[in-house]
Structure 1
Amino acid sequence: MYLEVYVDVIFIINFIMDFILLATVKRILKYESSHLRICLGAGVGAAGACLFAVTPDINRLLRFLLAYFLLSYLMVRITFSRKSWRERIKAVVLLYISTFFLGGLLNGLYYYTGFGLYLADNSRLYLLLAFVSGTAGMLIFAGFLKKLRYKESELYPAELVFREKVVRAVGFMDTGNCLRDPYLGKPVIVTEYTVIEPLLTNSENTMLQKLLDNFEEGCSSGDFLEWKEAAGEILPIRLIPFHSVGKSGILPAFELDKVVLWEGEEETVREKVLTAVSRRKLSVRKDYQIILHKEVM
């Protein structure tokens, strides 16, 4: 008696599931990683599953240690290569939790709904359902965990980086900040001009001050284009319309190279962040100088 194993099917299924799990870990922990690295991590996990499938006689304890410790850590190590070992351990733990959730979701769909009867002889349909339901389920799971971690009103130490210049300030997470670039759809944070000033050259500061003066006086987009041409596009500026209680207008914005936020010992790094610039103080008590966007965290 022998067991016929379809290694290609095992690889594809495990690759898809591992990709979903690693993408979920990235989304929840806000770790930086490219799609290529997620694919590489998922590929290693899928290859390990194939190896265990063709070696059924391996010692159970050894299989457990290799699969749930070494292989899981290797997947995380490849996917999040720039993180410290403590951050990787956190990712491994979350990978376990996500795996239990995804496994429970798929088992529930298969055994406790009518789908199991229709999918018994159709592996392709099961694979498609697993991918769609798994992705949807993990997005819901990630959103739920983020809400548990999220505090509606919180201050974050922040670091803004532009052309190798760095300034530090305090950011406030405002759930009501829905500012976006009207053309690209990117989220926009708002920073006080006094914080931005040290990052810019004298000519850029002069240009920005003139823009702020004119916007406060109600200049049109045509005036803005004239200013931009006159300045020779010294600083690439974008127009961000805003609406608040009893007031609306336009804020000039430009793209920072990087924004770093700290939540305790946890560090969140975001590259190419749009910041609008405001001359007015954002906090009456002056306890923060940046209004953050929820999608930046």
Structure 2
Amino acid sequence: MVVYADVFIIVNLYIDFFLLWCVRAFLHLEAKGGRLVLGGLFGALCGLISLVPLPAWAALPAGGAGALVAVWGAFWPLPWRRLARAWLCMWLCSFLLAGFFLFLIRFLAPRNMAVLGSALYLDISLPLLFFFTCLAYGLFWAIQRLFPRDASALRLCTLQVCHQGAAVELAAKADTGNALREPFSGLPVIICEEKALKAAVPQPVQDFLTSPCPEAAAHHMRLVPFSSVGGSGLLPAFRPDCVSIKGTGQKLPCYLAVCRSPLSAGQFSALFNPDLFPE
């Protein structure tokens, strides 16, 4: 089979874009389509090394390097741990996709398909590739129109918290299952990680987290009962001076309940119910 470099790059650009899109969806990362295209292009260019004769042992590190470059182009800047997690996820998705294509080659033996190292090559004309691209885009558009997703359930935003001179920003995820309210005032409760709130956490709340004792709760601190799949208990909460959504400026009258356990793998550090805050 004759391999054309331009077709090779375009095919792998499509594939790497799809893999990066899966990584973004699976890890709930924030990256625009243009960044995914850039990462896909980086990965496709790195895939050209598959056309160079290499020893068998070099295929694995070459594939890992290509995945790392693609992830870096799509999601930089990220903390190194989250970047490493995205890289491993990208690599895993690549293995799964490569296994699927090897299955097709083994049992269907298509003459216009080949796996070259860590890259895939399809012997297909560019006009036909463009046609299938438009067809796929049309199908995705139709599916989104016919089966709209609940935007509130997937909403991510940044909360700005101000309390006693301290100001912090929290990456928050909408969770309609969070129906917590402060028992006395009835105000909604936003669950936050202690590490994310930092200096904004009042000392009585910090003391309660260190030594949980309901009798020692200060008068300006509230204990909010909660129940979840993992169990039930009390969360210390306080009324901040101001909470607003960055970008819109919408004020959120609420209490902040503080927990020490992480709420996610680093994608967000607060949970709020948008239905409890009518605009």
Please give the TM-score of this superposition, normalised by the length of structure 2: 0.47
Please give the TM-score of this superposition, normalised by the length of structure 1: 0.45
